[in-house]
């Protein structure tokens, strides 16, 4: 079952095609951000350009295709560069929490006994905190900033992966090929990472792509609450927070400032949807328990 086989599977159902397209779409936007929306301050491209000093948002115009939000920040620019922020936050938090989870979980599952007991109890302690509240407290302690959000999200985001991989290891370490590897003199570390991990990594890949979306939502939530991205930073969560005062519209015209929340909100929804659909598709392809008889390799 190779890479091409996964690709083929991705194009089998319309929902997974949609997922792939959405993720690709955002990747292209993020990748070509400097060309799509050339930065006004090349040294700090994530800083939103301001079109004036008036507080009231102004509707889409030729100069500002998506309009401007509170403080005259350009929405179009924010969406484009916010895509970069979203990928940065998603990839880094998911990448590191998966990495920590994999290392911790495999050691726990492979060695078992008191090692497992200690590691799993520590994991339980981390899981005992409500995710968003814990991340919020930690971000507040660390200070404002996107990197602080990411540290907080990683700190409270690795446990799921650890449990997942530990479970797989508990089953996989009993496999005969593990004993056979031991019998030719392979070391424990090599057995864990070279022999067992490639056989147990798929659930983690699925989980990781699913949580790309939720991690970005959590980061946006923190930004929305004002403890995340610094003022004027291109971040979808922050852009929604700018729309907070304008969501109700004006007397007699509830949707007067629709563009302030529609574009950033839509971007978040589509981004999360894309990753979730992709994750679903990957699960259908990679999880042998869900695979139909036709799918056998």
Q: Taking the alpha carbons of 218, 143, 98, 96 in that order, is the dihedral positive or negative? A: positive
For another protein (CB under 8 A), the number of binding residues is: 19
Q: Which is nearer to another protein, 128 or 183 (CB)?
A: 183
Q: How far apart are CA 211 and CA 142, in angstroms?
A: 23
Q: Which is nearer to another protein, 190 or 245 (CB)?
A: 190
**CB 56 to another protein: min, Å:** 60
Residues 176-205 that bind another protein (CB under 8 A): 176-177, 179-187, 190, 195, 198-199
Distances (CA, A) of 128 to 114, 124, 221: 21, 6, 20
**CB 191 to another protein: min, Å:** 10
Instruction: For residue 78, give both structure tokens.
Output: 């924010």
**CB 181 to another protein: min, Å:** 7
**CB 185 to another protein: min, Å:** 4
**CB 203 to another protein: min, Å:** 15
- Determine how many CB atoms are found less than 10 A away from the CB of residue 15: 15
Q: Which is nearer to another protein, 54 or 190 (CB)?
A: 190
Give the residue among 248, 241, 230 at the shortest CA–CA distance from 264. 241
Q: How far apart are CA 2 and CA 297, in angstroms?
A: 9
Q: Which is nearer to another protein, 69 or 200 (CB)?
A: 200
Instruction: For residue 253, give both structure tokens.
Output: 């015209």
Does 244 bind another protein (CB under 8 A)? Our answer is no
**CB 278 to another protein: min, Å:** 23
Residue matched to tokens 């042998």: 288
Site string for another protein, 88-117 (x = CB under 8 A): ------------------------xx----
Length of the chain equals 297
Instruction: For residue 122, give both structure tokens.
Output: 């520590």
In sequence order, the β-bridge partners of residue 261 are none
Residues that bind another protein (CB under 8 A): 112-113, 175-177, 179-187, 190, 195, 198-199, 297
């Amino acid at each position: 079952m190779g890479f091409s086989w996964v690709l083929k599977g991705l194009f089998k159902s319309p929902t997974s095609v949609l997922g792939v397209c959405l993720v690709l779409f955002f990747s292209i936007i993020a990748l070509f951000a400097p060309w799509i929306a050339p930065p006004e301050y090349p040294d700090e491209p994530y800083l939103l350009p301001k079109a004036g000093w008036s507080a009231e948002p102004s509707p889409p115009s030729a100069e500002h295709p998506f309009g401007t939000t509170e403080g005259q920040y350009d929405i179009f620019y924010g969406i484009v560069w916010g895509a970069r922020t979203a990928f940065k936050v998603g990839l880094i938090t998911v990448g590191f929490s998966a990495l920590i989870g994999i290392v911790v979980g495999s050691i726990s599952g492979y060695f078992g006994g008191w090692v497992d007991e200690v590691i799993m109890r520590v994991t339980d302690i981390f899981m005992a905190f409500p995710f968003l509240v814990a991340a919020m407290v930690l971000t507040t302690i660390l200070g404002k900033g996107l990197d602080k959000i990411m540290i907080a999200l990683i700190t409270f985001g690795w446990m799921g992966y650890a449990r997942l991989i530990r479970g797989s290891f508990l089953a996989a370490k009993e496999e005969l090929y593990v004993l056979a590897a031991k019998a030719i003199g392979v070391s424990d570390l090599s057995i864990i990472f070279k022999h067992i991990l490639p056989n147990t990594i798929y659930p983690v890949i699925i989980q990781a792509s699913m949580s790309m979306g939720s991690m970005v939502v959590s980061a946006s939530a923190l930004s929305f609450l004002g403890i995340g991205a610094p003022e004027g930073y291109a971040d979808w969560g922050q852009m929604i927070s700018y729309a907070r005062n304008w969501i109700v519209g004006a007397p007699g015209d509830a949707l007067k400032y629709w563009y302030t929340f529609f574009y950033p909100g839509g971007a978040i929804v589509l981004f999360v949807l894309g990753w979730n659909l992709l994750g679903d598709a990957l699960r259908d392809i990679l999880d042998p328990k869900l695979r139909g008889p036709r799918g056998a390799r």
